[in-house]
Amino acid sequence: MSEAEVITRIENGVGRITLNRPKAIHALNRAMCEAMIEALLAWRADDEVQSVLVDHAGERGFCAGGDIRMIAESGAGDASEAKAFFKAEYQLNHLMFVYPKPITAVVDGIVMGGGVGISEPADVRIATERTTYAMPETGIGLFPDVGGGWFLPRLPGQTGVWLALTGARLKAADTVALGIHTHYVPSIDLDGLKAALLSNPANPLEEADRYACPTDPEEAPLDAHREAIDRLFAFDTVEAILAALQADGSDWALKQLDILKTKSPQSLKVSLRQIRTGATLNDFADNMAMEYALGGRIVQTHDFQEGVRAVIIDKDNAPKWSPAELSTVSDAQIDALFAPLPESEAWKPLIG
């Protein structure tokens, strides 16, 4: 593979995007987002391109997220570089969401954060036995952005709320059952699937259907907890969710309670409001504008800086959140984080 962090080319009527930053598990930076935007815009008007295929080089995973170190360093200052990254990343997410040609994403391995943002908008989303999906942002003082406010509340029941707040990791049997991914294809068959996509570029769904295998029901552990998730995560305040988990008292509920107590209280409240608000929106672009305003502010907060220090830089996994308790995160603080930006600063989709 070339040294380019994103490799784009046209093969047999398929516009191919291959993430090529394997040492960072293909974590996205601004240049990678802009390269993908440039290719997608060119292919949109190119009659030769009938569909798009997004995959990755190497075997470490599809995409572990965004360039968190850069975002934190920028957030410690004026956040201008972080905002520029979010602007490009969210424009890419939106472009994929409204793209007029079918997109297939082969999500083989780790897919978190930014990786979710460039796979969830795809029409065909292929998981394998190596797939591990998560939106773990509340553990670093962030929130499930890149469209999480749109996609998560549209999952069955309250599973999106549970995923957002706990940062739970799912394997393919669960992701396919929830509709996060559309097909399960064993990794050994991916080369055959990709060859089939290139031989039938106008009909990626037809080829995915042909290669898909059923998942093992025993490998879908979430099934046993769906009723509890829908009942215990249905509230509109984090405090009420925690109280419901405590009152339930089952081993599973108390485990979720313990997990939530390790997360940033501010992030928990932000994420729940993001999801409840996103559920009411009718336009994906409105969700991305909300997340852009929120993201530019969150990265400058104590909790994001501290979360990145604890999890990514020092790796002591002992963040000191502030405020440390849910009760001391005020509605006014959350309202300020969600306030719309002035028109001149607001996020907008790509024109045309």
Place of tokens 């309670």: 257
Whether 81 is catalytic:
no
Catalytic residue from among 66, 160, 167, 278: 66
Sign of CA dihedral 275, 280, 282, 287: negative
Catalytic residue from among 120, 137, 291, 306: 137
Whether 59 is catalytic:
no
Q: How far apart are CA 223 and CA 241, in angstroms?
A: 20
Q: How far apart are CA 93 and CA 87, in angstroms?
A: 10
> In terms of DSSP bridges, do strands 14-19 and 6-11 run parallel, antiparallel, or are they unpaired?
antiparallel
* Residue 127 DSSP class: E
Catalytic residue from among 55, 145, 207, 303: 145
Catalytic residue from among 65, 114, 139, 160: 114
Whether 239 is catalytic:
no
Q: How far apart are CA 11 and CA 27, in angstroms?
A: 25
Angle at Cα 133 formed by Cα 291 and Cα 9, nearest 5°? Answer: 80
DSSP calls for 76-103: TTT-HHHHHHHHHHHHHHHHHHT-SS-E
Q: What is the 3-state secondary structure (H, E, C) of 187-210?
A: HHHHHHHHHHHHHCCCCHHHHHHH
B/e letters for 295-306, b = 16+ CB within 10 Å, e = fewer, are bbbbbbbebbbb
Whether 145 is catalytic:
yes
Measured in whole angstroms, the distance separating CA 257 from the mean position of its chain's CA atoms is 23
Q: How far is CA 204 from CA 118, 122, 179, 196, 207, in A?
A: 17, 11, 17, 8, 5
Q: Residue 122, by phi and psi: left (phi above 0), alpha (psi -120 to 50) or beta? A: beta
Please list the active-site residues: 66, 114, 137, 145
